[in-house]
Structure 1
């Protein structure tokens, strides 16, 4: 097998990995109400940022925070699915795992709100003057 064959197989594997990742995104967007809510809020935040003409650095911060919320929500969903796969009956450790994963999303969202207030409050106050 020469280099080109290995490279093609590597590219196919990479493309398959992207396809699996996109399927995961599609699944969480389609089936998870919390992710749908995060998407709606993110769209509203980005629309407001556009209306207020926030500076580039603020856009970068917003996009990082939004991506973090999405990623954590997906990880939370993955933890919940794995726990559900492992046990159908109530188990205190299963509950703790799910609660901790949900708590991580909640904590990040609280800080996202604080960051949003820091970024949006000054231009909104200037607009109201």
Structure 2
């Protein structure tokens, strides 16, 4: 069982390093869970956040696996392979759109927005918000695999 977790963790790590879209999902997840404490979420709301984020992550990882396998099996352009890859990407898009809809429903709460605004209005809160956004942006843009990295994923 430990070996299975190690393999899964290695796959997640490699995908994070190689796939910019997965890093974007990580940044969005970090942002969601950074904002969530300012809202009066109950257990069901938290469960929805975890499920929505997990669904998008799972879809993106499966899409990555499908694309890599397709590229390995058929390195040349192929209409059927293109359809498979597009359908897998469409699955990620569908999950992301519905997760964003759930997020809008949860985060459009006036009390939470007021609490968040009050926290960001302080100098420390504004600095923390700016630092978080800058760090997430740098991770998304620069967090990828180095050219000299010999990891095969």
Aligned-pair Cα RMSD in Å: 1.6
1:66-77 pair list within 5 angstroms: 66-77=53-64
| 1:122 Cα deviation from its structure 2 partner | 2.0
> Alignment partner for residue 49 of structure 1, among 36, 58, 63?
36
Indicate yes or no: 2:82 matched with 1:95: yes
The one of the two structures with greater contact order (alpha-carbon pairs below 8 A, sep at least 6) is 2
**Structure 1 or 2: larger helix share?**
1
1:112-127 pair list within 5 angstroms: 112-123=99-110, 127=114
Q: Under a length normalisation based on structure 2, what TM-score does the superposition of the two structures give?
A: 0.71
Q: Under a length normalisation based on structure 1, what TM-score does the superposition of the two structures give?
A: 0.83
Contact 1:35-1:73 within 8 A present in 2 as well? yes
Structure 1: stretches of 5+ with no match in the other structure: 1-13
Residue matched to 1:3: none
Structure 2: stretches of 5+ with no match in the other structure: 118-153
The structure with the largest alpha-carbon Rg is 1
Counting matched residue pairs gives 115
Give a deviation string over 1:79-128, Cα, whole Å, max 9, x none.
Answer: 00000011111000110010000000000111011111111112457628
